[in-house]
Every structure is written in structure tokens, then in C-alpha cells.
Amino acid sequence: MVHDRSSALFERAQRVIPGGVNSPARAFRAVGREPVFIRNGEGCRIWDCDGNEYIDFVGSWGPLLLGHRHPVVVEALREVLDVGTSFGAPTEAEVELAELIAELVPSVETVRLVNSGTEATMSALRVARGFTGRDVTVKFVGNYHGHVDSLLVRAGSGLATLGISDSGGVPAAFAGTTLPLEFNDIGAVERAFDRRGNEIASVIVEPVAGNMGCVPPRPGFLQALRDLCTKHGAVLIFDEVMTGFRVALGGAQSLYGVMPDLTTLGKVIGSGLPVGAFGGRREIMERVAPLGAVYQAGTLSGNPLAVAGGLAALRHLRENPGIYDRLETAAARLQAGVVGAADAAGVEITSNRVGAMLTFFFTGQQVRCWEDAAACDTGAFAKYFREMLGRGIYLPCSQYEALFVATSHGNGDIDHAVACAADAFASMAR
């Protein structure tokens, strides 16, 4: 595979963009090569600027449940171009999207649209503080909630990938409001509440962790968080930026039957366009300006393009509930195929999967928390990634990310990816 144009673009990019990328998570640094520059996508396929074709299992880091350029989304976006792309004023479509989110996400009574998952989590934390009159946030090691100052503490995703434990530039006072605990360790949360229960404003959690690779909650973990938050008057926040509308139509909260007080959503509610949302119990959300004193704002919030993309995709999901069975079947086929191929080649991997989000960890051990994930052989992962890329399979460029199956992946695409994995493992074992 030739990547000359990507290489040339990367050289240019590094002169004018820090590290040549607009987000460190796409820098390919942990996999020992330069990033490829993408030109276009269609269904489950993308093409780079050298014309190389890939089956895409990143899907813009999750939101493209329907694949690239799904006709219902494209048509909805075209209609917006005819009427205007930004007003900084209320529109009918944003009311419809808010109604749809409140209908589909069980714990959400009212919802505020923002521009990204980061804005959503930042705002949710602030509302929780305003509601409780407390300052401390409990978060989990290896969970990532966007680049909010106080949440860049022992975070997953790009920070885990690059080995940055806590971000520079965050005042110690901000980081000091965050209490990082091990994911899936309910004893640690109980002890924290015993010691500091009257200081804890919120517990924020990815109900299925996706930013240290896919790590499901242990049975009972989410319910125990719910019970502790209720007992101590803290706000439970589910960060469903990754799991929302993906692991089930109603997100992880409907899958596990545990209701948070607040939910954060991201790019999935725009079908990949820049948007996010935070919402939940009415009495908490009533603290948000202009009703309450917790300020949060944005000219582009509820932007017509993002809202139209999201409405089209979410309506399509609601009207076609069979999609989730199809995603489950396709992702299970990929999981079984890749695990079988690794076994056959004698390469040790462990897989975690919830619905159509999954990770193959290069370890023989179970992965239940950050400590487990951090023990994986990232060198082997990097080699696997390069082998797969060279065979036209585009995977997340870090052991600490999840891969995503879309409705556009047919059995043939999944089987081709499995065959490529078999070749990749064979070449790694040589």
C-alpha cells in the first residue's frame, strides 16, 4: 500500500498544526507510523488520499452507527443547506431532537444541546455542583470524559495512549476537586463516600468504559453507584457519549436498568456532526440558566446541521429497532472470528464486547479495570494494527480505544476482516 500523499500532507500539517493533527487520539503515535489522511467514506468503507480502500471500524469514534453517508442523513443535511446553517436562535428542529432524546433515553426529562461531549460533561459537572452545593467529583481511572480541566486526571483515550497521566496546564486546585477511583471497584467508592460523602457533588462514569478499550461494568457495579449516590445525596452522571444509542436504543442505562440523575451524550446525536447534550432529572436541570444560576451557553448549540443529522439518524433507529439485533449479530461474528483466528495462530488475546462496541486486548488475562488494561502488550497491538491497516482494515490506533460495528458492515465485510486478522496473527507469530 502506498501512502505518499498522506506522508506529504502529514509533513505539511506538522508545520501548521501541533503534531500535525487536530486531536492527539488520531496521531497514530502509539502504533509506530504516520496517520493516513482520509478523503471520503461510503457505508462501511473509507478511502485515503492515496486512493487506498479500508473497511472502517472506527466510524468517527463511534457515532456512525449507520455507516458513512447514510441516505437518510445525507438527505436531511441537504435540506438544511436550502434554509440556512446557523441562526443563534431557537428552531423547531431542536425542540424535536430534545423531545426525541427525552422519549428514548429513559432517565432524561429535559435536555440542553451543546456542541461536543466535552461541553456536555463540563456542564453536567457544573450543574451537579450547583445542585448539591458541593465541589468534589468522583471519576474512574481510565474513563475519559473529554478534555474538561478537572477530568483530565488519570484519564483514558489519548492520555492513556500517550502515557500522560494527568494533563499539564490544569491548576492543582481544579485537579484537586477530582477523586479518581478504580473502575469496577465498588469497595473503593464506598470508602470514598464514608470519608468524604458530604463533599462529593457527583460520580461520573462511562457505564461501559470505552476509553481504556471496551470494559463492561461488573454485575451490580452501576446499581451500587446508584444506591451510594442516592444515599449520600450525590448526582450520578452516566457519560453515554460512546454508549448512547449504541449499546441499545436507550443507551447503557436501558441495557442495565440503572437510571442516572444526569446523562451526557455526544456526536452520536448528530450522526457524526459536532453536537452533544446533557440532560436528566427536571429538578436538577432547572438549575441551568435561564431558569437557574448555573450558567451554560453557546451560539452554535442546537446548530441546524447537527440537529438535522441527529434527528434523521435517531428517527431511523427508532423506526427500525431490529437494527440492534443485527448489530449484535455482526459484532458477535467479528468477535468470534478474530478470537478464533488468534487462537489458531497461538497469539494471546482477550476480547470484551457490549453490543457493537468491542476491544481485542493483547493479554491472556481478563480486563476489568485500568490496571488490567495497562498490563496489555501494546507493542503486539501496534504490530497487529499495522498488519491490519496494510490489509485494508482501519482500526482505532490505540489499545485503549474501542472499535465499532455499523449497520453498513455486511457478513462479507466482517468475514473479510476476520480473514485479514488471521493473516495478521500468522505474520505476527512468525
Q: Smallest gap, in angstroms, from Cβ of residue 39 to ligand HOZ?
A: 19
Residues that bind ligand HOZ (CB under 6 A): 23, 25-26, 61, 157-158, 211, 401
Q: Active-site residues: which are they?
A: 144, 239, 267
| 153: β partners | 166
Cβ-closest residue to ligand HOZ? 23
Q: Smallest gap, in angstroms, from Cβ of residue 146 to ligand HOZ?
A: 7
Please give the Cα distance from 157 to 151 (Å, whole number).
Answer: 12
User: Which residue, 325, 401, 290, is CA-closest to 25?
Assistant: 401
**Exposure string for 41-64, b = 16+ CB within 10 A, e = fewer:** bebbbbbbbbebebbbbbbbbbbb
For ligand HOZ, the closer CB: 169 or 412: 169
Q: Where are the beta strands (DSSP E) in 98-214?
A: 110-114, 136-140, 178-181, 200-205
Other beta carbons less than 10 A from residue 423's beta carbon: 15
For ligand HOZ, the closer CB: 192 or 205: 205
For ligand HOZ, the closer CB: 26 or 409: 26
DSSP strand pairing (178-181 vs 357-361): unpaired
For ligand HOZ, the closer CB: 116 or 202: 116
Other beta carbons less than 10 A from residue 36's beta carbon: 25
Residues 6+ apart with CB under 8 A from 87: 304
Q: Smallest gap, in angstroms, from Cβ of residue 400 to ligand HOZ?
A: 8
For ligand HOZ, the closer CB: 66 or 209: 209
Q: Smallest gap, in angstroms, from Cβ of residue 157 to ligand HOZ?
A: 4
Please give the Cα distance from 85 to 12 (Å, whole number).
Answer: 31
Q: Smallest gap, in angstroms, from Cβ of residue 306 to ligand HOZ?
A: 17
| Three cell numbers, residue 131 | 445542585
Q: Which secondary structure element, helix H or strand E, spans residue 75, and what is its range?
A: helix 71-81
